[in-house]
Amino acid sequence: MESMTLEILPHRIARAAENMALDFLLLQRYPRPEAPRFRHYGWHGPAFTFGYAQKIAFVRGSLPPGGPWDLCRRPTGGGIVDHRDDWTYALVIPRGLPLEELRATQSYREVHECLAAALREQGVPAVTKQVCEPPADGAGCGPSGVCFQRAELYDVVLERSGEKIAGAAQKRNKHGLLCQGSLWRPAVGAVIDWDRLHDDFTGRLAAALQLPAQPTPWPDLNEDEVSGLMEQYSSPEWNEAR
């Protein structure tokens, strides 16, 4: 029996609906369901994604002028994410692994501690936000609706200014935990070797999982299922459901 690893999948570029479909299928249909898996990916053209529970009217009213934008509802929660100049990743942790069994806030924190440490390796003063500060309107500490407008608890921020660098959204089901994360490149404020960031980040994630990291070929997913889910994620029924 082969030992388990954190499987590092190849970089791919796709439109928003395909990226969301692939992330979901990596949670639902991975051929080695016991193995945690990670992918960093890019976007065909200017794209925005938004949280599963968000209202489409709010989303459209919050987008910048211009467009048209490649817009898709995520399978995870969270707010609106601008992917025009971000570094995007997905991490799936199967059921039964200690990191998956943590409460949502703690798994969020663990992943972001790994990312902040990888950024510090290149001189970026990155930390996780440790204090939840209610907004001025007294609405409590929760998602602002638009990612990177305000840092939430355990987001990755710059140490002195508190400016948000990275956030993420999660979905948990019987298969495990899907974490979809975004790092906003302009907020980093430094020249970054992005290949090194990828390797440092995945290395720290592997250490947190107490597993080695292993580059792995793209999985053999059912093409009909991929196409069907892409069609669903492109449909008004999915994107305008709320």
What is the percent of the chain where pLDDT is above 90? 85
Can you give the pLDDT at residue 142?
45
In a domain, residue 228? The reply is: yes
* Residue 205 CB neighbour total at 10 angstroms: 25
What pLDDT was estimated at residue 242?
81
pLDDT value for 181:
97
Spatial separation of the C-alpha atoms in residues 214 and 112, rounded to whole Å = 21
With respect to residue 1, please indicate whether it lies within any of the assigned structural domains: no
Q: How far, in Å, CA of 102 to CA of 131, rounded?
A: 19
Summarize pLDDT for 46-95 with one digit per residue, the tens. Answer: 999 999 999 999 999 999 998 899 999 999 999 999 999 999 999 999 99
Structural domain includes residue 21? yes
Q: How far is CA 191 from the centre of its chain?
A: 22
Position 134 scores a pLDDT of: 56
pLDDT at 2: 64
- Whether 123 is in a domain gets the answer yes
Q: Identify the pLDDT of residue 140.
A: 39
135 pLDDT more than 80: no
In a domain, 151, yes or no: yes
Residue 131 is predicted with a pLDDT of 78
Strands 47-50 and 81-82: antiparallel
- Is residue 13 situated within a structural domain? yes
Nearest-10 crossing angle of helices 104-120, 194-209:
140
For position 29, which CATH number holds? 3.30.930.10
Please report whether residue 116 resides in a domain: yes
Q: What is the mean pLDDT of residues 104-119?
A: 96
- Per-residue pLDDT tens over the stretch 192-240: 999 999 999 999 999 999 999 999 999 999 999 999 999 999 999 999 9
Give, in order, the Cα–Cα distances in Å from 182 to each of 31, 75, 241: 26, 15, 24
Report how many domains make up the chain: 1
Q: Using 50, 70 and 90 to split pLDDT, how confident is the model at 241? A: confident
- Is the pLDDT assigned to residue 39 strictly greater than 50? yes
Q: Give the residue numbers spanning the domain of 218.
A: 6-239
Task: Give the model's pLDDT for residue 37.
Answer: 98
- pLDDT number for residue 67: 81
Entry pTM: 0.91
pLDDT in tens, 142-192: 445 665 566 789 999 999 899 999 999 999 999 999 999 999 999 998 899
Is residue 82 in some structural domain? yes
